Amino acid sequence: MDEQKTKLEQVKLEEIDISKTTQLRLQMNSTAGEEYTEVVSEGDELPPIRVFHERLLGKYFIGDGWHTFEAYAAAARKTVPALVSSGGERAAWIHALGANAQHGIRRTPADRENVIRAALADDEMGSWSDSLIADACGVGRSTVQRFRNGDQTEERVGADGKTYPPAAVVVEEVEVEVDVEIEEKPTQTPEQELKDLSAPLRKIVADLDSLRKVCKELQADPRYRRHFASCYTRVDAAAKSLRSTCNQLTPKKWCDECGGTGNVSGLRDCTKCLGSGWWTKRMERMGRSVNATA
């Protein structure tokens, strides 16, 4: 790609387009941004940004240097040093594809993937060869080839300007022997199984306690007291009732009648545990009451 002539100027920040259509990073580096802002706020200068001037619009588009631009803006500076080239948004966007490939705040793997996918999706650049796109994005040719996913069926334009058919993709089957050692899970004790079974109900109880705590805090806050006075009373009563129900329904012991299977002789549900295999606290209390009466 041909290098354009550049001129070092002090460009007014208000004349720079801030729509970020040429910003190809997925996320700004906040740490670097704070350091840049500190430097500029102390009166020092940062290396010039790269902009492209669209004379008809009277606007400058950033091709490289968003962190620097935002540092000058945060420091309330009126101008920013910039290497200016003629062109516009399109020229800035193409330059941004390869920005920070070798210097500055390095791109993350996700940033590199983003610029490659952006180039491949572009109406013009999508027909370029892998080598041309790799040069524009500052990545290896094999990386571009990998993101094409082997499904490129259109012809491509090479560096010599000629049109070439897409490279054939060869898929080979490779046999791989893998020695997998399956780790056996330790057998749970009956007590551990009961604890796992009761986990959802115990979570409901914990969530109810948290809800009551939040409502109580809001009731104590003068800003919410009038609104939450009656609300807390209702929530507290409902929470206590549901909490008691969950505690009563929590599995406490395995059924002595069916041995935890939930059925008798594999033919019908156990009448004592109602087919669950365990006794809840309520069932256990009722069972003791029946035995005492008998």
pLDDT in tens, 108-154: 999 999 999 999 999 898 889 899 999 999 998 898 989 886 545 44
User: From the CB of residue 270, how many other CB atoms can be counted at a distance below 10 Å?
Assistant: 19
Contact 46, 25 (CB under 8 A): no
Q: Check whether 20 has a pLDDT greater than 70.
A: yes
pLDDT in tens, 164-205: 555 554 555 667 676 666 565 555 566 666 667 667 767 777
pLDDT average, residue stretch 9-37: 91
Contact 86, 51 (CB under 8 A): no
pLDDT in tens, 52-102: 999 888 899 999 999 999 999 999 999 999 999 998 899 999 999 998 877
Predicted TM-score (pTM) of this structure: 0.50
CB neighbour class for 137 (10 Å; exposed up to 12, middle 13-18, buried from 19): buried
Between CA 85 and CA 105 the distance in angstroms is 22
Confidence class of residue 260 from pLDDT cuts 50, 70 and 90?
A: low
What is the DSSP secondary-structure string of 90-121? HHHHHHHHTTTSSSSSPPPHHHHHHHHHHHHH
Look at the block and give the residue holding tokens 């606290």.
281
Task: Look over the chain and give the mean of its residue pLDDT values, rounded to a whole number.
Answer: 78
Q: Check whether 293 has a pLDDT greater than 80.
A: no
Give Dmax over CA atoms of the chain in angstroms.
Answer: 104
Contact 214, 232 (CB under 8 A): no
> What is the Cβ-side half-sphere exposure of residue 206, based on CA atoms within 13 angstroms?
6
pLDDT at 168: 52
Contact 48, 83 (CB under 8 A): yes
What is the DSSP secondary-structure string of 118-138? HHHHSTTGGGB-HHHHHHHHT
